[in-house]
Amino acid sequence: MDENEDKSEKSPSDPPKSQQEIALEEDRINELQGAIEDMRLTMEEATHALTLLESKIADHRARNPLEPVPAELVYGFCQNWIKNCHVATETISFQQLDADAEIRSQQDTIREKEELAASDTVLVDFEALVCQKKDNVVNLQQASDTNYELRLLGGKVRQNWSREKIKVAETIQMLREARRDCEKSERALEQWQRKIRRVERDIEELEEENAALKEKVARYRPPGILEIARKFGELEQAKEELFKVVKRKVLED
């Protein structure tokens, strides 16, 4: 407890670290972390290579259990692994060069922007942006006024639309009633048409009968005087014969 109290008492007396020192310490920590990560990856790669070598040796012993492991196998494997390491190192070097070039380009861009920020051009652009902002505020106010007017106009349009909608509903109702009246009239018209067709058929039949009667009348010839006298004589003779027959019947009875 005393030692901790002494340390806590001494710590406020230590001078505070500057931002630059803190940044340097952070960079150093990042470098150490990067180095540790590189060592870890190297150890993993070495372990992987050793595992491959052991598998090759085990495979050779499985095929040839009595023969010793040839040195060429280990030497060739090591040479191949070293070659792969060189290739990976060169690839990383090229990537590092590209990254450094990109960092330098970004640093140059940042430096140009910092220099541009301190120039009068930026001030002019800023004033132009301020003027544009004022114009935008005015335009926004005008747009708000226009929006309010449009909303009022929209309210009037909705009112007119409601009235027109009511009128349309009334018109639709009138059309429905007119349609029902038309249907009734159509049914009545169909009935009258059926009656007219029946009357037309009766007229056709009467016309046919009239034509037949006219034909009979056209064929009829009134009897002449001689024929009438002959018919009268025949009737008188028939009358006398009938009288004789009746008289004989009466006498016989």
pLDDT of residue 10: 43
Global pTM value? 0.27
pLDDT of residue 3: 44
69 CB contacts (<8 Å, ≥6 apart)? 57, 60, 61
pLDDT of residue 165: 77
Question: Is residue 12's pLDDT more than 70?
Answer: no
223 CB contacts (<8 Å, ≥6 apart)? 231
85 CB contacts (<8 Å, ≥6 apart)? 45
The string of pLDDT tens digits covering residues 129-164 is 778 778 877 877 877 777 777 777 777 777 777 777
Q: What average pLDDT does the chain have?
A: 75
Question: Is residue 108's pLDDT more than 90?
Answer: no
Question: Is residue 252's pLDDT more than 70?
Answer: yes
pLDDT of residue 190: 92
Q: Using a pLDDT cut of 70, give the percent of the chain over it.
A: 74
Question: Is residue 201's pLDDT more than 60?
Answer: yes
pLDDT of residue 9: 43
The structure tokens listed for 140 are: 């926004």
More confident residue, 124 or 58: 58
Residue 44 carries which DSSP code?
Answer: H
* Of 13-17, 72-76, 180-184, minimum mean pLDDT range: 13-17
